[in-house]
Amino acid sequence: KEMHPYYNLSVTVLRAQNIQGADLLSKADCYVQLKLPTASPLPYRTKVVYNSTDPEWNETFHYRIHGAIKNILELTLYDRDLMLDDKLSAVVFDVGSIKPGQTIRRAFKLNPKHAPAQLIGQVPGQQIPVDQLLMTYPDNRSSTVFSTENPFNLLLFKMRITVPSVAVAS
């Protein structure tokens, strides 16, 4: 009989850079929502960092994941509003690519919110390692033309998977 172990996953959302909010009169009020439906029925989210283009969170979230299930983590960056929060961008990450005991740190280049939806790596003339990145997609609400002169937004986070300790009776 094959045993599929459980693992502890910690995800630390570090910061984002060069974030352009959806509001015309102010900077973004950013937070990140984390969804891992195979480990938690409800999403987690960071605190809101108000009026910042470079929000910093340094918040850690913990999950217990099963090794036999495909665990896909979705990190979504939002701009908080009074009525309805604006989704700025999202990253989908396959947690199965991390080995137990390994800590990874990733910086994902997010598409500008007005760019056409596309996989990272398909932007002409851009060399981006995509070994850990499944896809990103922006929230498309405008017909503004994408300019390669604008710097990309970044979302930085780190993850670690550990094997839980088991007490052995003697």
Task: Write the DSSP string, 47-99.
Answer: PPB-S-SS-EEEEEEEEEEETTS--EEEEEEEE--SSSPEEEEEEEEEGGGSP
Kindly report the number of other CB atoms within 10 A of residue 6's CB atom: 13
pLDDT digits (tens, 9 = 90+) for 102-131: 888 887 777 654 333 333 333 333 333 333
Whether 70 is in a domain gets the answer yes
pLDDT digits (tens, 9 = 90+) for 34-92: 999 999 999 999 999 999 988 999 999 999 999 888 999 999 999 999 889 999 888 88
**Element (DSSP H or E) covering residue 107:** strand 103-110
Per-residue pLDDT, 52: 92
Whether 167 is in a domain gets the answer no
Q: What is the CATH number of the domain that holds 21?
A: 2.60.40.150
Which structural domain, as residue segments, surrounds residue 88? 6-162
**pTM across the whole model:** 0.70
Whether 168 is in a domain gets the answer no
Whether 81 is in a domain gets the answer yes
**Element (DSSP H or E) covering residue 8:** strand 6-17
- How many angstroms separate the CA atoms of 148 and 62, rounded? 37
- How many angstroms separate the CA atoms of 32 and 142, rounded? 22
Whether 169 is in a domain gets the answer no
Whether 105 is in a domain gets the answer yes
Count of domains observed in the chain: 1
